[in-house]
Structure formats: structure tokens, C-alpha cells
Amino acid sequence: MSTATPEAAFHASARWSLGDIAVHRVDEIELPRQTGPWLLPHATKEVLDEAPWLRPDFADADVPRLASHSFAVEAGGLRIVVDTGIGNAKPRANPAWNGLDTDFPQRLAAAGFPPESVDLVITTHLHTDHVGWNTRLAGEDWVPAFPRARYLTSRTEWDHWAAADLDEARAQMFRDSVHPVRDAGQYDLVDVPEHGHEVAPGVLLVPAPGHTPGQVAVELRGSDRRALITGDSIHHPVQLSHPHVHSCVDIDSAEAVRTRARLLEGLADTDALLMGTHFPRPTAGTVRRTNGRYRLLAEPGVDIPATAA
């Protein structure tokens, strides 16, 4: 992902009920306008025009809109956070991500997930804007932000980056947001087979490779309905109508397209919710086939006011 500004922060979370599982969106920041053309260069105005349902929520007149948030899940008596955004006070090469100062922990607590209460943190993939609140600054040290949680990511994802030749910006991200959790003994690596791996009651990691080799999506199987949290397998709803629009930072764009097609086929014309990790509000909805393409029928959830910073 690219640029973000704390001034564009949201001020509410939202909640969806799946029966015995509840999902909250906890906002970090709205990503600035230039993010869309950078991240999804083929999502041009002409492409957006072919899906008029994208406006006004998911696109402006010319470009896609994107956001950074976490999903906080109540399942089987556990509190689970899926991806942790950009984070505060992190030194970043991207000036708009550098040294953020948001009230994300207070928003998380207002949604009923104070950091010390969280049992699991799921990392869909090890990118900068998905691990930032893994840690917080304590004096001069980065320490796990969720002191009693187990942090989970796929073994394939971990092994890929462990063997990669990291540039300095990515190495810094690992130093401040991943390695302190590993060094505290809180990171667990999960083997994720094709049919998925259940990590909590009704919470499954499912393979979603392409954006990164070991990325996972998170399937929630509630007593009333299902939901799928995308990670970066689907960055934006334009990729429903145009699944071949891919991210400029996909490691394997062809594999990402195949993954997206598989996930959408499994959701289409069901009551399952698609919950986009970077979809701006209203963030979630059901997938429908229309005139040979997919579209999202938005379900905004119930707004829950967040505490002020």
C-alpha cells in the first residue's frame, strides 16, 4: 500500500453479526487520494465508469478510494484481531506513513477489544500496513502491543520473507513490527492446507496466494452466515467487476487473479459477507453476478462511536 495521513482518520467503528460470531471494523486512517492510481494503475476512470455502483462510496469521479483498518472478531469466547494496520511512531520511507499518531488503541478498546484482552492476532501477510500495531513503543523499545496474544501467520509467508533479500525499508518494518513479537515468543507459524485451517471456533485461515506467496484470507463461519476477510487478495471492489485489475505490488499477479476468481466464485449469490481489508466504508457486502460480472451489494453494519483521541 501507499500513502496515508492521520488527519483523514475515521471516528467510528462498525459491527456485523454472523450469529455466534461478531465482527467489528476498527478504523485507523483513510488512505489519500493518490493511493488508488498508484496501487491499482489499471483501475482507470474508464474502468470505474463500467461499474457505476462503485460511486460514491468506493470511488470518486476519477479514482478508487481505500482505507486502513483492522477487523476485531468475537468467536468462541476469544477476542481476535485480523491485521494491525500501519501503526504509530514507526519510521517509514513513505513520508505519509512515517511517525503516525492516531488513537487506534482507544478505538479498539471502545469496540470492546482493549489490547490486553486480545487472545489472537492474525497476520494475513507480512506487509507494512498489516503489521504496524503488532508493536508499540515502550521507552526506546518496540514491544508486543497485545501482551497476552498469540500472533499467527502462515508458515509459507514467514519462510518467504525469511529467505528474501530485504531492502532497508522492509528490513526496518521487520525490526520494529515483527521481530519483537517473535523474540517475545508470541508468533506462531501455521501450515494452511488447501481446505483451510481452523485457528478458533468458526475462524479459518484459507490460502490466498499471489499478492504474497503465503497470504491467507480469513473465513468466519457463524451460526447464521459466513464472512470472508480479504487481506490483500481483493484490494478494492473494482476488482469484483474487473478481477484482472491487479496491484502493482503483487508478487505474482497471475496467481493473485486466480485466487481472486476462486474466492469470488465461492461467495457469489450467497448471503456470505465479503469484508475488504482496504475497502472504505461501508466496507462489507454480498457478492452478486450481474451481466456477466460481479458487484458488491453493500451492508454497512451498525456504527459504533469511538472514543476521542
- What does the pLDDT look like over 44-102, one tens digit per residue? 999 999 999 999 999 999 999 999 999 999 999 999 999 999 999 999 988 778 899 99
- What does the pLDDT look like over 212-269, one tens digit per residue? 999 999 999 999 999 999 999 999 999 999 999 999 999 999 999 999 999 999 999 9
Task: Count how many residues are written for the chain.
Answer: 309
Residue 235, C-alpha cell as written in the block = 484490494
Q: Which of 125, 13, 128 is nearest to 73 (CA)?
A: 13
Dist CA 6 CA 13 (whole Å)? 16
Dist CA 95 CA 2 (whole Å)? 10
Residue 243, C-alpha cell as written in the block = 478481477
Asked if residue 89 lies in contact with residue 137, where contact means CB atoms within 8 angstroms, the answer is yes
Our CA angle for 142, 146, 148, nearest 5°, is: 120
Provide the CATH topology of domain 6-301.
Answer: Metallo-beta-lactamase; Chain A (3.60.15)
For the chain, what are the domain ranges? 6-301
Residue 247 CA, distance from chain mean position: 14
pLDDT for the residue 229: 99
Our CA angle for 283, 151, 277, nearest 5°, is: 15
pLDDT at 196 over 70: yes
Dist CA 78 CA 60 (whole Å)? 38
pLDDT for the residue 308: 37
Dihedrals phi, psi of 197, to nearest 5 degrees = -140, 120
Dihedrals phi, psi of 158, to nearest 5 degrees = -60, -45
- What does the pLDDT look like over 101-160, one tens digit per residue? 999 999 999 999 999 999 999 999 999 999 999 999 999 999 999 999 999 999 999 999
Q: Give 13's pLDDT tier (boundaries 50, 70, 90).
A: confident
Helices (H), the chain: 35-39, 45-49, 104-110, 128-131, 155-163, 168-173, 179-183, 238-241, 253-267
SS3 category, 241: helix
pTM of the model: 0.95
* Mean pLDDT along residues 263-278: 98
